Structure formats: structure tokens, C-alpha cells
């Protein structure tokens, strides 16, 4: 089970931050539907070659201040 919960509205803003930081990610890499956080984490782990902890930390960091442009 995923450690985070991301709403559709929050994901649209968070996706922009993630895409800005990781330009190699495609739109397909960032495909997400609410409730599928685990699949998103697994996919990002694979594509970014990073640990689960890093991916979850990065997503949580982006959600803390969703209005800020920084990740």
C-alpha cells in the first residue's frame, strides 16, 4: 500500500513539478489515476532508477506546498 494519497487536482500540479525536475519522463510515465499511487511509485522507481524512499520523499515534498513551483 502506498504511503501517500494524491488527488486528481493535486496530481496535475505535482506532475508539472516532477516533469520540470525529470525532463526525461514522458506523459505516459506520469499517467496517474487516483487510488493508483502504488503503480505510480513503482513506475517512477523503475524509470528514475531510484529507491522507493526517494520517490515517496520527492512526491511528498512536492505535495507539502503544492502552490510552490519548487520540488
Residue 48, domain member (yes or no): yes
Average pLDDT of the chain, as a whole number:
93
Calculated CA dihedral for residues 60, 61, 63, 69, nearest 10 degrees: -150
Q: What share of the chain has pLDDT > 90, as a percent? A: 86
Collect all residues with Cβ–Cβ distance below 8 Å to 1 and sequence separation of at least 6: 38
pLDDT tens for 25-35 read: 999 999 999 99
Residue 46 lies in a domain: yes
Domain encompassing residue 60: 8-64
> Could you tell me if residue 3 is inside a domain?
no
- The number of distinct structural domains making up the chain is 1
Domain membership flag for residue 27: yes
Amino acid at each position: 500500500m502506498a504511503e501517500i494519497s494524491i488527488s486528481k487536482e493535486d496530481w496535475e500540479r505535482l506532475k508539472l513539478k516532477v516533469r520540470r525536475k525529470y525532463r526525461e519522463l514522458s506523459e505516459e510515465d506520469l499517467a496517474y489515476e487516483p487510488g493508483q499511487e502504488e503503480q505510480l511509485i513503482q513506475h517512477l522507481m523503475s524509470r528514475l532508477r531510484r529507491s522507493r524512499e526517494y520517490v515517496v520523499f520527492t512526491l511528498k515534498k512536492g505535495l507539502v506546498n503544492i502552490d510552490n513551483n519548487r520540488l
